[in-house]
Structure 1
Amino acid sequence: MTLIMLSFSALLATLFIFTATTMLCMIQIALPKEQKTHFKRYERRSRCYKNEYEDDVKLEKSETEDQSLQATTQTIKTLQQELDEVDQGLRGSIDTELCLKQLEYLNRKYPDQAEILCMIGMAHQKLAFATEDLSVRKYHIDRGMAACQTSLEINCNQSEAHKWIAILIGLNGETQTTKEKIESGKLFKKHLDAAIGLKPEDPVLQHLAGRFCYEISSLNWVEQKLVKNAFPEPLNCTYDKALLLLLKCERLYEPGWKENRLFIAKCYIAKKITDKQ
């Protein structure tokens, strides 16, 4: 509204100056030389006033744009602070249901923010993992995957969204048939590879890749045949490869991760090795 009023005022001022200048030019034709000189001085002053006014308008417009930019920046900072708080809650001991409600509120407020949708997927994964009720688990898995898929539609270059889809797929195996597990495995591998391509130094991704190799290597001959026919490219999964990936996770995650160490031990047992070489 301020810019519209300024523009209207500038238009009126310009019309006034133009009209006055035109009338002065017409009057000068019949005036003596001395009076014409006075009119020329007046015209010069008029042009100066016009330039000063236009400069003031530009300055006020620039200040208004700066204020708008500052307000937008402040909104982004506030949103990021809220997301950081929710993220800490999800990774800590704060009620996950409460975190999910806050994220859903933020998603309604900022529907085009891919990070919010990705975190909704993360919250659903935690709730799915925490329940023993298979119907409730499936509900959270489906909702979490849908949120992450929408997040990828907004921004496809998100390692976190691919990662949480892969983790959610991994939770869905208990009630699946062998055929469904193979199809889920293909989807799992697709998102896992995409996530690693975007963020290769993520220890969780290296752990997931190591576990995938271990599980494929542990299949019996018939199951491995089915998997081989299902995947377009050879998986080349071995206990050695699984061990390398799990050890990389161990290096990347300095505090140590019990579950990762458990699978490292499983790999050594499967390879019939008891001591590290």
Structure 2
Amino acid sequence: MRFLLTLTLFLVHWLAAGQNNASLIQESVQLEQNANEPAALDKLKQVLRTEPNNYYALWKSSELYSRLGISQRDKNNMLAFYRAAQKSAEQAIRVQPNEADGYYVLSVAMGRLALAGPNKEKIAAVKAIKTNAEKAIRYNPNHGRAWHVLGKWHYEISSLNFVERTAVKLFYGGFPESSYQHSIQAYEKAQKLEANFALNYLELAKAYHQTGQDAKARTLLQKLASLPTRTGDDNRIKAEGKALMKELE
């Protein structure tokens, strides 16, 4: 009898926690849609306190950590956000190793760490970024943002200077195949799959400019300016696009 009572109380508590977490996730989605990422992340943290293996909360919190990290003015704070993004992504993959989103957000976190961290961190992340983006695409070939990460990888690898290229060769025993054209192909694929993804417009415009296709770059930047603002980062992206447009005029 005592065992049944204990079991009943546990089930009631578990069901209540599950219902509360579902509400918290809905609130997080709404807050993100209203470009309030810090509050959205706080809701997901609340979910993870009682349900640490909630897959959605793990991968989405990783994405938000990466997105919020870029706005941190202090370099140490920025890196802390990106490392938190990496940790959440790795846990998401452990929970659901056959789902795309965990690999996608891990590739994003590693990419942000590579761009913000010291050179040794950038070099060490080169392989992991591409590997995880490709895994995300393998599990979901229509994952537009994973295609975007792959495009960014090709762009950044193609932009490495001589010293960085030499370091990559030494670290990996060779230089990975990459080109601006591969970058453009991946970005264009991402654009077809996710037409309102502002960051992809900006990065594709940069790739077009890098390859002398300024007319295409200007067309994209004009479209970028007219896109709806969907995240807190979109204003920064549009401002950068506006600055690039001035360079191309």
Aligned with residue 27 of structure 2, among 79, 82, 85: 85
Shift of 1:86: 0.9
- The verdict on how the C-alpha distance between 1:93 and 1:220 changes in structure 2, with shifts beyond 3 A counting, is closer
- The CA distance in 1 between the partners of 2:3 and 2:120, in whole Å, is 64
- The verdict on how the C-alpha distance between 1:193 and 1:126 changes in structure 2, with shifts beyond 3 A counting, is same
Unaligned runs of 5+ in 2: 217-249
Match of 2:103 in 1: 162
Match of 1:94 in 2: 36
Shift of 1:185: 1.7
- The CA distance in 1 between the partners of 2:55 and 2:120, in whole Å, is 32
Aligned with residue 179 of structure 1, among 116, 120, 127: 120
Larger radius of gyration: 1
Match of 1:55 in 2: none
For residue 93 of structure 1, what is the amino acid of its counterpart? A
SS in 1 for 2:66: helix
* Mapped contact 2:65–2:82 kept (Cα < 8 A): yes
Match of 2:181 in 1: 240
Shift of 1:230: 3.3
Match of 1:204 in 2: 145
Shift of 1:132: 0.9
Aligned with residue 62 of structure 2, among 121, 125, 128: 121
Shift of 1:74: 8.3
SS in 2 for 1:172: helix
- The CA distance in 1 between the partners of 2:37 and 2:46, in whole Å, is 16
Shift of 1:252: 1.3
Q: Which runs of 4+ in 1 moved over 4 A?
A: 1-5, 68-78
Shift of 1:168: 1.9
For residue 99 of structure 2, what is the amino acid of its counterpart? Q
For residue 230 of structure 1, what is the amino acid of its counterpart? F
- The CA distance in 2 between the partners of 1:263 and 1:210, in whole Å, is 9
- The CA distance in 2 between the partners of 1:195 and 1:185, in whole Å, is 16
- The CA distance in 2 between the partners of 1:3 and 1:180, in whole Å, is 53
- The verdict on how the C-alpha distance between 1:220 and 1:134 changes in structure 2, with shifts beyond 3 A counting, is closer
Shift of 1:234: 6.0
Unaligned runs of 5+ in 1: 6-64
For residue 78 of structure 2, what is the amino acid of its counterpart? R
- The CA distance in 1 between the partners of 2:85 and 2:198, in whole Å, is 26
For residue 88 of structure 1, what is the amino acid of its counterpart? Q
- The verdict on how the C-alpha distance between 1:124 and 1:270 changes in structure 2, with shifts beyond 3 A counting, is closer
Deviations 1:219-240 (A, max 9, x none): 2345334334434686321122
- The CA distance in 2 between the partners of 1:239 and 1:260, in whole Å, is 15
SS in 2 for 1:153: helix
* Mapped contact 1:90–1:123 kept (Cα < 8 A): no
